[in-house]
Structure 1
């Protein structure tokens, strides 16, 4: 689970639609951990924030800015997940199971997912099949069964009738674009990616999309544009993803989106301050999320002058 941390403040409780997460900030966790470590509020606040900020966190669950929260969590050896509770508004159990399997698939947490998805096959409603096939296509893609996955994504597009207001159409386009990007065919990859971004521009809310799905799309396209050396496009997509996350108060892939933005700025137009901001956020969020692979990539980046 990832929890969103705004560049300005963290919303302690938010509304959510469809399949998104509803987070609740828990100042009591910080209070208990501080007491456990025998720290006063003044000691915890030193070089981080004011004592009054700590008091508001602990007594009133008032969440601070991202930079302050990161420093507090690092000082107390807490993760972002430790200071939020998670609960879901979704009632349909069958859909919930499919959503959880899809989330694992998109996050590449695929061990045992084949058996899980197969066990649901006989229980699917007509509306479930596009998601079911999407998951199968994603699993094959991560296993490098590329041709099989492309055939499966074509089946997804048959179910959705290539309706670009349906998130499963956009996810199928995404993986088709990734196939071409991975093979070095920039024009073909851009064709699919730009169909997705055009759909986002025309349809601000994709009705059946979860926040994770939307941010996964932003993350993957931004990464691909960086790899294709389309740095302006990479920066724009990473920024749009970060803006979407801030608007929806979620934090899926914030470390990777900030990394993509930093990489685009490092290799494109030199914006030193913006680069440093994205670089630092990427590093600290990757550290809090224990994303060792990303931390390695970030450390290998060179400073820009």
Structure 2
């Protein structure tokens, strides 16, 4: 998994775009997937990339030689997955077991998970404090998924405290960082779609329906392009809510609503089914 990070960092260091790196090697989409850790290249492609970036194969694979490092990264990713899925059982124990075993690059993800858990426990002030630590670690870089997730949960925290203006500020920071393709180099599908579905739901709650539709629609398109099914029920429901009162989009509303209902039933998403039936 560290392969993508090495290539991404070296490409940026050499001021190359993904298109420039891909030239005569592969497609830009392939480079994007490699950098997001979603796919491993063939040996032929990997050799060409290394030659272009002045990397050796040992440079690329050096961190794979440590089984413990892979296991720790994998464990941290699994814990983040649980946190974003609101599965808090034993998450404190799992986090405690990683203390003292993580390197500096892991700490922004580690602190983000703590901030998410504090938010879900309704410890909003503690969550906001921890999320500020994440932003210090990422230097608020807008192309870092941990920056954007920290903004998201800060916005959610302020929303819970009824500080609507502050919430909108952080949501707008994410919106300004997003492009239609939602390409964030160090993000995985779950993180991108969690951002989309949570922003869409938050904008619905604030009656900002155009923004809600933008993020639900972007999320649905992203899921289709990447052949993933995370949060499709919630994304469709937010899209339905966003166009509900638009007489020109009645057919779209029916499609979104019906898809949301059947997907929620299939996924046994009881909370969403309750909201839909209400």
Which consecutive unaligned segments of at least 5 residues does structure 1 have? Answer: 1-14, 23-90, 301-305
Moved over 6 A (4+): none
Query: Who is 2:140 aligned against?
Result: 162
Paired with 2:246 and 2:162, the residues of 1 have a C-alpha distance of 20
Contact 2:182 2:192 in 1 (8 A): no
- Counterpart selection for 1:225 from 197, 203, 215: 203
Q: Helix, strand or coil: the match of 1:124?
A: coil
Paired with 2:180 and 2:211, the residues of 1 have a C-alpha distance of 18
Q: Helix, strand or coil: the match of 2:201?
A: helix
Contact 2:182 2:222 in 1 (8 A): no
| TM-score, normalised via structure 1 length | 0.68
Contact 1:167 1:208 in 2 (8 A): yes
Residue 270 of structure 1 and its aligned partner are, at CA, apart by 5.4
Query: Who is 2:84 aligned against?
Result: 106
Residue 180 of structure 1 and its aligned partner are, at CA, apart by 2.2
* 1:274 matches 2:249: no
Residue 21 of structure 1 and its aligned partner are, at CA, apart by 9.1
Residue 187 of structure 1 and its aligned partner are, at CA, apart by 2.5
Q: How does 1:95-244 map to 2 (within 5 A)?
A: 95-201=73-179, 204-244=182-222
What CA deviation, in whole Å up to 9, does each residue of 1:162-194 have, x standing for no partner? 111110000000011112223333322221111
Contact 2:180 2:218 in 1 (8 A): no
Query: Who is 1:254 aligned against?
Result: 232
Residue 263 of structure 1 and its aligned partner are, at CA, apart by 1.1
Paired with 1:277 and 1:21, the residues of 2 have a C-alpha distance of 33
What CA deviation, in whole Å up to 9, does each residue of 1:2-57 have, x standing for no partner? xxxxxxxxxxxxx85445599xxxxxxxxxxxxxxxxxxxxxxxxxxxxxxxxxxx
Paired with 2:86 and 2:246, the residues of 1 have a C-alpha distance of 30
Which consecutive unaligned segments of at least 5 residues does structure 2 have? Answer: 1-29, 41-68
The structure showing larger relative contact order (alpha-carbon pairs under 8 Å, at least 6 residues apart) is 1
Paired with 1:147 and 1:286, the residues of 2 have a C-alpha distance of 33
Paired with 1:93 and 1:21, the residues of 2 have a C-alpha distance of 18
Distance 1:168 1:269, change over 3 A: farther
What CA deviation, in whole Å up to 9, does each residue of 1:145-173 have, x standing for no partner? 10001000000011101111110000000
| TM-score, normalised via structure 2 length | 0.74
Paired with 1:139 and 1:20, the residues of 2 have a C-alpha distance of 26
Paired with 2:105 and 2:247, the residues of 1 have a C-alpha distance of 46
Question: How many pairs align?
Answer: 218
Distance 1:151 1:111, change over 3 A: same
Residue 94 of structure 1 and its aligned partner are, at CA, apart by 1.4
Structure number having the greater helix percentage: 2
Paired with 2:151 and 2:39, the residues of 1 have a C-alpha distance of 25
Distance 1:113 1:20, change over 3 A: farther
